[in-house]
């Protein structure tokens, strides 16, 4: 069963706006990751945040993690049409444990 649940399921924004996507999970985690998938192709790793971290940045990406609420958010600032993709959060419970993916969010960025 899926550990992570993202919301919203779909998001449509104008180019230049910020996109915020949320992920909630049920059990304790070792780390949480976000992946992007373009047009049903392979997933690309975006960012990993460990359970003892609260915030992490990578370029236009900002990820937060609230372990007390078992939730994470992914913020994409100054969105571009090329950011149009599906975004998945994934969690794992420890070293060498399998990743469990959420259902994904479809982001559309209108030029």
Judged by the rule CB under 8 A, the positions of this chain that interact with another protein are 2, 30-31, 33, 35, 40-45, 48, 88, 90, 92, 95-104
Of the pair 18, 51, the CB lying nearest another protein is at 51
Of the pair 15, 92, the CB lying nearest another protein is at 92
Is residue 4 within 8 Å of residue 101, measured between CB atoms? yes
Of the pair 35, 109, the CB lying nearest another protein is at 35
Find, among 84, 69, 80, the residue nearest to 22 by Cα.
69
Strands 105-110 and 85-92: antiparallel
């Amino acid at each position: 069963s899926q550990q992570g649940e993202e919301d919203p399921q779909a998001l449509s924004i104008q180019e230049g706006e910020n996109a915020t996507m949320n992920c909630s999970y049920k059990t304790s985690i070792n780390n949480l990751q976000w992946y992007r998938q373009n047009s049903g192709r392979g997933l690309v790793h975006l960012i990993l945040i460990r359970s003892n971290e609260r915030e992490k940045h990578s370029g236009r990406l900002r990820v937060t993690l609230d372990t007390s609420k078992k939730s994470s958010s992914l913020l994409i600032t100054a969105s571009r049409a090329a950011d149009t993709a599906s975004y998945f959060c994934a969690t794992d419970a420890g070293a060498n444990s399998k990743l469990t993916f959420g259902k994904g969010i479809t982001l559309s960025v209108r030029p």
